[in-house]
């Protein structure tokens, strides 16, 4: 077994306001193997987004990691300065967020935005940049690359915008993609398109993916491993097959039942007898 792509150990996070300090994460452990997709799943307030943000160093004001380690390959991410992290983000770790149209800068077209990302990490001349941008837009399944490259975010549909965001996240060749609720808010059929796209990208360019979601179905169908989080702690983790088919924790079981809703159907049919 190769070294894990990403390893988080004992992560503790607190958010300090003027008056108080609230502990958000209480010792989170997480392992993402190279080339795998790991699902970080939980409900609102579970701490899943905060974990992701701690990994890439994008903490909210007042946020402070108080303990633990985040190891990416052979690098200790928590030890890096902000300047060093800026180099990591985009180049080594790509990020995709919810709501693609708001994640994109509204005043520039796609080509220029991606161009800016490339300029800050790679040393390419204009022709190379343009070629790279088009290549990546094609990579994410966009047929009419010319139209999309020249388009502004508000001119793109939800699914198309999310593809562009993914292209932008990958354009500098990162080995890890962190996706925070990338398909929430998109139609179910489009969601499936995006997830299939991510899976095919994983195979084509050896990408490890950390996906944060509240949707257990997404994790079940597309992830290799998962962590179930609740109230700042990892409740259960492991291979998707073992955790979801044979959960040990009560919380996990409840989440599975609530996602499946089978018991409600049973109840309804029984009431109709």
Partner 1 sequence: MTNSGHDATSCDAHRSRDEGPATDDDADTDHAIIVDGLHKTFRARRGQAGVVAIDDVSFVVERGQTLGIVGESGSGKSTVARCLLGLTPVDAGSVEVLGRSIVGANPKQLRSWRSEMQIVFQEPLESLDPRYRVRDAIGEPLLLHTDMRGDVLRKRVDELLAQVSLATDLGARYPHELSGGQQQRVNIARALATDPSVIVLDEPTASLDVSVQAEVLSLLVDLQAQFGLTYLLISHDLTTIRAVADRVAVMYLGRLIEVGPVDEVLTNPEHPYTEFLIGAELSVNPHVKPAAPVVQGEVRGGERPSGCVFAQRCPLRMDACEEAQPELRIASAGHEAACLVVGNKHDLAGAAAEYRLTDEGS
Chain residues that interact with partner 1, rule: CB under 8 A? 43-44, 142-145, 147-148, 157-160, 187-193, 196, 214-218, 220-222, 240-241, 244-245, 254-265, 267-268, 271-272
Q: Given the complex with partner 1, which of 12 and 231 has the nearer CB atom?
A: 231
Minimum distance from residue 222 beta carbon to partner 1 (Å): 8
Nearest alpha carbon to residue 121 among 79, 92, 95: 92
Helix, coil or strand: residue 16: strand
**Minimum Å distance from CB 208 to partner 1?**
19
164 closest CA partner among 89, 113, 107, 211: 113
Adjacency order of strands within the sheet including 4-16: 21-33, 4-16, 63-72, 75-76
> What angle is formed at CA 182 by the lines to CA 199 and CA 207, rounded to 5 degrees?
35
**Least CB distance to partner 1 at residue 8 (A):** 24
Give whichever of 70 and 168 is closer to partner 1, judged by the CB atom.
Answer: 168
Q: Choose between 128 and 250: whose C-beta lies nearer to partner 1.
A: 250
CA distance 93 to 58: 12
CA–CA distance, 210 with 36 (Å, rounded to integer): 8
Q: How far are the Cα atoms of 3, 105, 133, 166, 265 from residue 128, in angstroms, in the given order?
A: 33, 23, 9, 20, 56
- Which residue, 97, 91, 86, is CA-closest to 171? 91
Smallest gap from Cβ 131 to partner 1, in A, equals 19
Output the DSSP codes for 23-42: EEEEEEEEEEETT-EEEEEE
Nearer to partner 1 among residue 16 and residue 258 (C-beta): 258
d(CA 92, CA 111): 21
Nearer to partner 1, 127 or 271 (CB): 271
* Strand 208-213 relative to strand 37-42, pairing: parallel
Least distance to partner 1, CB of residue 143, Å: 2
Q: Which is nearer to partner 1, 11 or 164 (CB)?
A: 164
- The smaller minimum CB distance to partner 1, of residues 51 and 175, is found at 51
């Amino acid at each position: 077994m190769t070294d894990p792509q990403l390893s988080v150990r004992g992560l503790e996070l607190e958010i300090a306001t003027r008056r108080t300090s609230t502990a958000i994460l209480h010792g989170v452990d997480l392992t993402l193997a190279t080339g795998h997709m790991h699902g970080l799943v939980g409900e609102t307030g579970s701490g899943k987004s905060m974990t992701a943000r701690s990994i890439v160093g994008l903490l909210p004001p007042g946020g402070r990691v108080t303990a633990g380690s985040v190891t990416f390959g052979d690098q200790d991410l928590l030890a890096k300065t902000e300047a060093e992290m800026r180099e990591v983000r985009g180049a080594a770790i790509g990020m995709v967020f919810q709501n693609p149209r708001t994640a994109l800068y509204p005043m520039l077209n796609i080509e220029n935005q991606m161009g800016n990302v490339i300029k800050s990490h790679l040393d390419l001349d204009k022709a190379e940049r343009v070629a790279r941008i088009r290549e990546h837009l094609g990579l994410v399944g966009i047929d009419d690359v010319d139209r999309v490259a020249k388009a502004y975010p508000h001119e793109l549909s939800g699914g198309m915008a999310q593809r562009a965001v993914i292209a932008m996240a990958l354009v500098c060749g990162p080995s890890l993609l962190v996706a925070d609720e990338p398909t929430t808010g998109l139609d179910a059929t489009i969601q499936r398109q995006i997830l299939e796209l991510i899976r095919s990208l994983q195979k084509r360019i050896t990408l490890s993916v950390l996906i944060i979601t509240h949707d257990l179905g997404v994790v079940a169908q597309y992830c290799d491993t998962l962590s179930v989080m609740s109230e700042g702690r990892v409740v259960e983790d492991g291979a998707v097959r073992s955790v979801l088919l044979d959960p040990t924790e009560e919380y996990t079981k409840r989440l599975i039942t609530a996602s499946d809703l089978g018991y409600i159907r049973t109840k309804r049919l029984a009431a109709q007898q």
